[in-house]
Amino acid sequence: MAYNRRLKRLLALDTPQRLLVLAKLSKAERLEFRYHWRLWARDEQVAPAGDWRTWLIMAGRGFGKTRAGAEWVREVAQDPAARIALVGATLAEVRSVMVEGESGLLATAPPDRRPIFEPSLRRLTWRNGALATIYSAGEPEALRGPQHSHAWCDEIAKWDNASERAGRSWDNLLFGLRLGEAPRILASTTPRAVPLMRRLLAPEQGNDGIGPAGNPALIVTRGSTKDNLRHLPTRFMRDIELEFGRSLLGRQELDGEMVEDIEGALWTRALLESVREVAASAAPVRIVVAVDPPASSTGDDCGIVVAALGDDGVARVLFDGSLAKPSPERWARKVAAVAAAWGADRVIAEANQGGEMVRSVLHAAEIALPVRLVHASRGKVARAEPVAALYEAGRVRHVGAFPQLEDELCGLISGGAYQGPGRSPDRADALVWALSELMLKPRASPRVLLP
């Protein structure tokens, strides 16, 4: 685009020439230069041309979605008649990210055109009379009635799907989008395979299921974290790729790819997202380490998973310390170290592949390890089904993200063969043993001892 070409010409100049050009600008022009979004933005961060109704930015984290949304709202607010809805997962997120965040509406606006934010009224007011009101997608009824000309909806894939709140919030917003000649919505999000995302993207597919249907009402911009490398720390990209790599979660969160669930999977992406918490919300009363030992050092991975039972009766997955193709001595030492670090009450080890040898290897690493051997009488999928039911019932949480473990869980198919990464779901199997020990193991009935 023309503005990018002008910027490239300026950046191509050596420093003295560039400073000479900038020195010719007045103080007001230099300030305007700094806030001239269309000069600095990448092409995909600028609203597309055409008669569209919904612009969906579906991209990885760090792509610049929030900045694109804030700058679009700033352009819309140049119209005094603009009435804008700002909708996020919660009111707190709208305020902390969309309004007051470092890429939000207040930080990106020139000082002389910064809107006045009144948190108690949930309202931003520009000097020309344009207004924006903040809403939570968790309160669909708040969007029933108000009218708007434009809306910016952030992280729509993260909106609460309980009781279909996400869909109802979107519908109520649409019904109120009736001011002005061309009402429009910008929806920015990291993609997840949730009902609202599937619904929005459905018109994009042609009859053959592989191409656009030519629907001008929806414009989709896709992108990845790497598109914004110029503004991201090098170490961030190195660390994040080392952690997530090409896992399915990495493809979703970094590459902006909407990873679809496998039909019949016991776990879905939406289910795992719904049970995630940043930190454990209850104190542990029991902690176990579960181990799915490999048959050989050149075969499968060794699944090592830590889980705890909280004093609220909910189990929590705390840590995935699994190893790729380790020797018996290496995985035994890792289990001992993990058990010590987490203060585990018990080490649960599957003994189908090695019998008492598994106990011996673990005790060679740490003689005091409280090992209990378990034997699988059913296949991995059959053992996983009652554990998946615990997730559905809201009795399990994931404290943090476990990309490789969660990829395996989503590859376990009810009544079918494993369809996840690797030859075998070793991490998932260790999780199943841990949660079975904490939540499904029969408890002894209380007895009255008579004299």
Q: Any long-range contacts for 119-125 (C-beta under 8 Å, 24+ apart)? A: 119/95, 122/91, 124/86, 124/99
Domain 269-440, what fold? Nucleotidyltransferase; domain 5 (3.30.420)
The pLDDT, as a whole number, for residue 164 is 83
Distance between CA 431 and CA 317 in Å, rounded?
8
The pLDDT, as a whole number, for residue 253 is 74
Best CA proximity match to 364, nearest among 333, 322, 340: 333
Residue 205 has pLDDT above 50, yes or no: no
Helix axes 15-23, 2-12, angle to 10 degrees: 120
Best CA proximity match to 397, nearest among 276, 273, 270: 276
For a pLDDT cut of 70, what percent of the chain falls above it?
Answer: 86
pLDDT band for position 207 (cuts 50, 70, 90): very low
Beta partners for residue 187, in sequence order? 56, 153
pLDDT in tens, 91-145: 999 999 999 999 999 999 988 889 999 999 999 999 999 999 999 999 999 999 9
Q: Which residue has the higher pLDDT, 235 or 25?
A: 235
- For domain 41-230, the CATH architecture is 3-Layer(aba) Sandwich (3.40)
Distance between CA 88 and CA 115 in Å, rounded?
19
Distance between CA 82 and CA 105 in Å, rounded?
15
pLDDT band for position 206 (cuts 50, 70, 90): very low
| Range scoring the smallest mean pLDDT among 211-215, 240-244, 366-370 | 211-215
Distance between CA 189 and CA 166 in Å, rounded?
13
pLDDT in tens, 24-73: 767 666 666 667 777 777 888 889 888 899 999 998 888 889 999 999 99
Q: What is the pLDDT averaged over residues 4-15?
A: 65
The pLDDT, as a whole number, for residue 10 is 66
Could you state, in order of their start, the residue ranges of all structural domains in the chain?
41-230, 269-440
The pLDDT, as a whole number, for residue 2 is 43
Q: Which residue has the higher pLDDT, 186 or 4?
A: 186
Distance between CA 197 and CA 166 in Å, rounded?
10
Distance between CA 36 and CA 59 in Å, rounded?
23
The pLDDT, as a whole number, for residue 114 is 94
Hey, do 41-230 and 269-440 end up sharing a CATH topology, with the first three levels equal? no
The pLDDT, as a whole number, for residue 446 is 52
Residue 176 has pLDDT above 90, yes or no: yes
pLDDT band for position 216 (cuts 50, 70, 90): low
> In 312-379, where does DSSP find H-type helix?
328-342, 356-365
Phi then psi for residue 134, to 5 deg, are -95, 145
